[in-house]
Structure 1
Amino acid sequence: MRMILSAVVAAALASAGAAAVPAPRVKAQSFEQLAKPLPLPYSQTAPAMAAVDKARARAKASGKLLLIDLGGNWCLDCRILAGTMELPEVEGWLKKHYELVSVDVGRFDKNLDVPARYGFKDRLAGVPALLVVDPKSDRLINTGKTTALSDARSMNPQGLADYLAQFAR
C-alpha cells in the first residue's frame, strides 16, 4: 500500500509537470527509520494567528513560501510528517524554500480562525493539513490538496518530501 501511494504521488507530480525545484533525496526508506520518539510539533499554548502573521512576514521578506502545518500532537500522521521534516536533508531543504509554522487545531476545536482565513469555513477534512501560502498575496496555493498527507503513514518519507517539493520555488 505504501509503495502504491508513493507511486501515485510520483505519477501525479510527473503529470503535473513536476516541481521546478527538485525534492531532497531522503535516506530513510520507511518511517521505522525516523528518530524516536516522534516529535510533538504543536504548541497547545502558542498564540496561533500571531505566529502565522510573524511567519508570513518572514516569508515575505525572504521570498519564501509560507507553510502552515495544521494538526495535533494526538495525531500519528502529524507526528510522522514532523519526524520526516526533521530529517537533516529535509529540514535543510525546507528552510531554504519555506517559512514553517505549526498550528495546534486540537481535535478540530482550536485555532480554527487560521484555516478560516484561507477559505476553510467548515471543519477540516483531516490532519495534518498543510496550507502553502503566497506571503505577498496571502493566497492559498495548494487549494484542493491541503489534506493530501492526512494519511502520511501510508507513504514513505520520500513521498512526503516529493509532495512538499511540488509547490516550492
Structure 2
Amino acid sequence: MFSRLFLALGLSLALAGAADAAAAPKVGISSFAELKTPLPYPYDEAAEAKAVDAAVAKARARAAKAHKLLIVDLGGNWCGDCRILAATMELPELKAFVDRHYEVVLVDVGRFNKNLQVPARYGITERLEGVPALLVVDPRTNRLLDKGHVAALADARSMTPQALADWLAQWTPPSR
C-alpha cells in the first residue's frame, strides 16, 4: 500500500513539474520519414578534447549570459538516432523553440571512446547508456538537470517528432 502511495505521489510530482514547463511547439510533421534527407552528420569527428572542452565552456558562458539552459548533445555520426534528433531540431518550429530556450553544443563521443571527460564533468563516469545522450545543464550552477534521463532519446526513432519536442520542452521553465 505504501509503495502505491509513493508511486502515485512521485507520478503527481512528475506531472506537476511537466505542467510548469514551457509549452512545446507544435511540430509540423508526424513522422520522421517526412524529414529532409539526407539526414545531417552533425558531430565534428576531428575535434580534439581541448577544443571540445573550450566549445562546451563557451556555450555554457553564452547560455548563462542569455539566461538559457545548456544542452550538451553527446553522440556520433554513425548513430541514426543522433542524426534523426539533429534533423528534427532543425525543423523551423523546433529550431526557433530551441534557440529561444537553449544553447546547444554537439560533442562527438566516437564509439563511446572519445571526449568522455565531458559527461564525467557531470558525474557520468560509467559507459553512456546510449546516444544521443543529452545533458541539460543549468549554466549558472553547472548542475545537470536531467540526471537519470540523459539517455532518454537514445531510441529517438521509436518516438514521434512531437514527443521529441515535448521532451525538450519539459526542462524549460515557462519564464524562459
TM-score when normalising by structure 1? 0.90
Specify the code of the residue in structure 2 equivalent to 1:22: A
Alignment correspondent of 1:88: 92
Say yes or no: does 1:129 pair with 2:133. yes
Alignment correspondent of 1:79: 83
Indicate the SS of the match to 1:137. Answer: coil
Give the greater-gyration-radius structure (CA). 2
**Which ranges of 4 or more aligned residues in structure 1 deviate by more than 2 Å?**
12-20
Specify the code of the residue in structure 1 equivalent to 2:54: A
Say yes or no: does 1:151 pair with 2:121. no
Q: Give the conservation status (yes or no) of the 8 Å contact 1:42–1:72.
A: yes
**How far does residue 42 in structure 1 lie from its aligned partner after superposition?**
0.4
Say yes or no: does 1:167 pair with 2:168. no
* Identity between Structure 1 and Structure 2 (%): 59
Q: How many residues align?
A: 159
**1:91-111 deviation line (CA, Å, top 9, x unaligned):** 011000000000000000000
- In structure 2, relative to structure 1, the CA distance for the partners of 1:116 and 1:13 (3 Å cut) is same
Alignment correspondent of 2:144: 140
- Correspondence list, 1:1-169, <5 A: 14=15, 16-46=17-47, 47-169=51-173
Is there any run of 5+ residues in structure 2 with no aligned partner, and where? Answer: 1-12
**1:124-148 deviation line (CA, Å, top 9, x unaligned):** 1110000000001100000000000
Is there any run of 5+ residues in structure 1 with no aligned partner, and where? Answer: 1-11
Specify the code of the residue in structure 2 equivalent to 1:54: K
- In structure 2, relative to structure 1, the CA distance for the partners of 1:17 and 1:93 (3 Å cut) is closer
Once residues 61 and 168 of structure 2 are traced to their aligned partners in structure 1, the CA distance between those partners, rounded to angstroms, is: 21
Once residues 52 and 42 of structure 1 are traced to their aligned partners in structure 2, the CA distance between those partners, rounded to angstroms, is: 13
RMSD value, Cα: 1.6
**How far does residue 17 in structure 1 lie from its aligned partner after superposition?**
3.6
**How far does residue 16 in structure 1 lie from its aligned partner after superposition?**
4.3
TM-score when normalising by structure 2? 0.86
- In structure 2, relative to structure 1, the CA distance for the partners of 1:102 and 1:19 (3 Å cut) is farther
